[in-house]
Amino acid sequence: MIGDSITDCGRSWPVGEGIRGLGEGYVALVANELAAACPDLRIRVLNMGISGDTARDLQRRWQQDVLALKTDWLSVMIGVNDAWRQFDSPFNTECQVYLDEYTSILQRLIASTLPSLSGLVLMTPFFVESDRRNPMRVKVEAYADVVRRLAREHQTVLVDTQAAFDELMVSRRPAELAWDRVHPTPAGHRALARAFMRALE
């Protein structure tokens, strides 16, 4: 499972693995659910998230952190930093990954990796904000739309994380699910894990 800080969540280095090594987020929760739901499969889960990563960063480390591991299944969630850097670092254009580059990178990584996989899970980026007109929400939604489209094109498993959070925000305040609207609380990570398991089912 590869991604940014939402995936990383304090995992061990160089490879996040084992009871304590998977971090404290949705990756560990998914691993526990898989172990309980299908113990006979002896599924080994690896956490390769790195805080602050964008799609460009994933591309740089893809050979080492994905292809070299020769995994059967791969889960990817990336995109919120690609959008966020345009808000928190507006004058540092070098760190910004715009939508066209984001799309081409994901398309290239998927096309080059999919033939060697038994399955691919694509997770949309999300922004835990109930106001759909919020500029950051609008921007992240555009990146999420790319992931949805690529999942359809390549017939992968799709985890629509934004839809999962939208469902919860009917009854819960955004801060209960992600303290800064990006990094999930324990309840937010559980929501991600539940959405992941539903998609796999």
Concerning whether 189 is annotated as a catalytic residue, the answer is no
Is the Cβ–Cβ distance between 194 and 157 less than 8 Å? no
* Alpha-carbon gap, residue 24 to 35, rounded angstroms: 16
Residue-level pLDDT at 95 = 80
Q: Which residues of the chain have pLDDT under 70?
A: none
3-class DSSP state for residue 166? helix
Q: What does the pLDDT read at residue 170?
A: 97
pTM of the predicted model, to two decimals?
0.97
- Give the position of tokens 């994905």: 66
Of 4, 57, 180, 189, the active-site residue reads: 180
| Cα–Cα distance, 157 to 7 (Å, whole number) | 17
Hey, which residues does 178 pair with through a beta bridge? 184
What is the C-alpha to C-alpha distance for residues 18 and 21, in angstroms, rounded to an integer? 5
Q: How far apart are CA 181 and CA 177, in angstroms?
A: 8
Domain layout of the chain by residue ranges: 2-200
- Could you give the CA distance from residue 86 to residue 64 in angstroms, rounded to a whole number? 28
Q: Per this entry, what is the length of the chain?
A: 201
Catalytic, 183? Answer yes
Q: Phi/psi at 50 (nearest 5 deg)?
A: -135, 125
Q: Could you confirm whether domain 2-200 is CATH 3.40.50.1110? A: yes
The active-site residue, picked from 5, 8, 75, 189, is: 5
Cα-based angle 179, 173, 124 (whole degrees, multiple of 5): 65
Give the pLDDT confidence score for residue 19 in this predicted structure.
87
Q: How far apart (Å, rounded) are the C-alpha atoms in residues 187 and 6? A: 13
